[in-house]
Amino acid sequence: MEIQYDFSDKSVIITGGAGGIGYGMATAFIKAGANVLIVDINEDALNKAQTALQTLGSGKVLTLKTDIASKENDQTIIETAVKEFGRLDVLINNAHASHQKPFVQLTDEDLELSLSTGFYPTWHLMQLAYPALKKSQGSVINFASGAGINGQPTQAAYAAAKEAIRGLSRVAANEWAADNIRVNLISPIAETAGVKAWKQAAPDQYTAMVNKIPLHRLGDPEQDIGAVALFLASDASSYITGQTLMVDGGDIKLR
Ligand SMILES: NC(=O)c1ccc[n+]([C@@H]2O[C@H](COP(=O)([O-])OP(=O)(O)OC[C@H]3O[C@@H](n4cnc5c(N)ncnc54)[C@H](O)[C@@H]3O)[C@@H](O)[C@H]2O)c1
């Protein structure tokens, strides 16, 4: 069953929106009529995404090639959306890069990569977006991971950044509730290009992972993760804030 959302005249920022889950969410928001600013470090992917997305909806698709790891770039991201669209309704902090190694082998540079692409931009973009979100009574969607919630081996730097994002999100949800700005998180499992490549390279491992998921499949970036992002950004979820939604086929049960 497809639920119809109307985001006409609303504006959305998606970091890491040129690939993977970010692109799936961009597709969902464009089809729902939103104006979308896709931010990504990969110019080629951005150009392809813009060409494809423009045909799917009546809203504007803007792209910004930028590295979210720099605070100056974060300022440009918010200013671009507000200037071009006249408002900001939804900030989605999705991009996040990391290295995986056993904890004792992880370097300060590995930790910095995860903090500078995941935690710091989430922090800065939320602060910078606050005035515009207050005006629109908008919402923030951040990204968590089962790696952090479950403490997955080799993921210490990534897990630390992801759980820091969850802590920040809960504080902001409490502080900004008075402004009717909602802050929630998605903890996804989705079949992205990287996972598809891994499926080719290690089919047995892939099958074992899928079998461990109660619903026995990986999520679709648009149909599964994008659908929940639309719900969290819409009035249908107006009584939900500070929550982590597990969009992972039942893999992890939060207590
Ligand atoms: N795919 C999953 O199953 C899964 C599981 C748990 C959590 N997550 C989380 O979901 C989110 C999306 O994951 P994904 O699998 O789609 O990721 P991905 O790696 O497929 O895509 C991330 C996008 O971010 C962009 N990006 C990377 N570094 C950037 C930077 N410094 N500046 C700007 N853009 C940058 C990339 O170019 C890419 O387009 C992430 O926060 C990830 O940690 C994903």
Check pocket membership of 94 for ligand 1, CB cut-off 6 A. yes
**120 flagged as catalytic:** no
Per-residue pLDDT of the chain (255 residues; tens, 9 = 90+): 678 999 999 999 999 999 999 999 999 999 999 999 999 999 999 999 999 999 999 999 999 999 999 989 999 999 999 999 999 999 999 999 999 999 999 999 999 999 999 999 999 999 999 999 999 999 999 999 999 999 999 999 999 999 999 999 999 999 999 999 999 999 999 999 888 888 888 899 999 999 999 999 999 999 999 999 999 999 999 999 999 999 999 999 987
Check pocket membership of 21 for ligand 1, CB cut-off 6 A. yes
Q: What confidence score (pLDDT) does residue 1 get? A: 64
Domain that holds residue 90: 11-189+221-247
Asked if residue 3 is part of any domain, the answer here is no
> Closest Cα to residue 89, out of 221, 230, 226, 198?
230
- Sign of the Cα torsion 189, 191, 194, 199 reads positive
Asked if residue 123 is part of any domain, the answer here is yes
90, 26 contact by CB (below 8 A): no
Question: How many domains does the chain divide into?
Answer: 1
Check pocket membership of 11 for ligand 1, CB cut-off 6 A. no
The label of the residue with tokens 């104006």 reads: 35
Q: Cα 140 from chain centroid?
A: 10
Q: Please give the number of the atom of ligand 1 that sits closest to the Cα of 193.
A: 20
Q: Please give the number of the atom of ligand 1 that sits closest to the Cα of 42.
A: 37
Atom 3 of ligand 1, nearest CA residue: 189
Asked if residue 202 is part of any domain, the answer here is no
44 vs 40: CA distance, rounded Å: 10
Asked if residue 147 is part of any domain, the answer here is yes
Transcribe 123-189 into DSSP letters. Answer: HHHHHHHHHHHHHHT-EEEEE--HHHHHT-TT-HHHHHHHHHHHHHHHHHHHHHGGGT-EEEEEEE-
108 vs 254: CA distance, rounded Å: 30
Asked if residue 214 is part of any domain, the answer here is no
**Both tokens assigned to 51:** 């060409």
Asked if residue 75 is part of any domain, the answer here is yes
- CATH number of the domain that residue 104 is part of: 3.40.50.720
Which position among 5, 158, 206, 239 bears the catalytic label? 158
Amino acid present at 220: D
